[in-house]
Amino acid sequence: MSNQISRMTIQRTIILDELGKLATHPTADELYRIVRKRLPKISLGTVYRNLEILSCSGRIRKIEVPGTMKRFDGNTDIHHHVRCVSCGAVRDVRGELAVSLPEIPGDIDGYRIVGCRLDLIGICPKCRKSSENST
């Protein structure tokens, strides 16, 4: 796969460009519908394959939550996410999130620790409003 990662095909370039325009952290299916407007003949499999390649190369972030579809983020800067437990929407946490964690050692149980990720869960404004209107 290393040879695939080094080449930026037109499909990869457009997927990366479209993902970079979004703050919604789309699923592969959602991004496929967007990319098809520019590349009508692209297949869903091509989008999935290229998202994996872009993720492995560090050009995008893959957000994986057990029991949900993978989502993708064009912002590779260190930041946190909040996920709605009702609709599954994922957004970046705005501003600095000050969380006090104990100092993490470089090795834990034989693992070389290379990073830490904090994901928040909650109910998004749209779902909260829907919930309040139905009561």
Q: What's the confidence (pLDDT) of residue 50?
A: 96
Contact (CB, 8 A) for 73 and 63: yes
35-93: pLDDT as tens digits:
999 999 999 999 999 999 999 999 999 998 778 889 999 998 878 888 898 988 888 88
Strands 81-84 and 119-122: parallel
Within 10 angstroms of residue 92's Cβ, the number of other Cβ atoms is: 14
Within 10 angstroms of residue 81's Cβ, the number of other Cβ atoms is: 19
> Which H or E run includes 50?
helix 44-56
Instruction: Give the global pTM.
Output: 0.76
DSSP secondary structure code for residue 121 in this structure = E
- Those residues with Cβ within 8 angstroms of residue 70's Cβ, 6 or more apart along the chain or in another chain: 27, 28, 62, 63, 64
Catalogue all structural domains in the chain, each as residue range(s) with its CATH number: 1-77 (1.10.10.10), 80-135 (3.30.1490)
Structure tokens at 73: 């983020």
Structure tokens at 13: 């370039």
Q: What is the mean pLDDT of the chain?
A: 86
Taking the chain, what is the end-to-end CA distance rounded to the nearest angstrom?
52
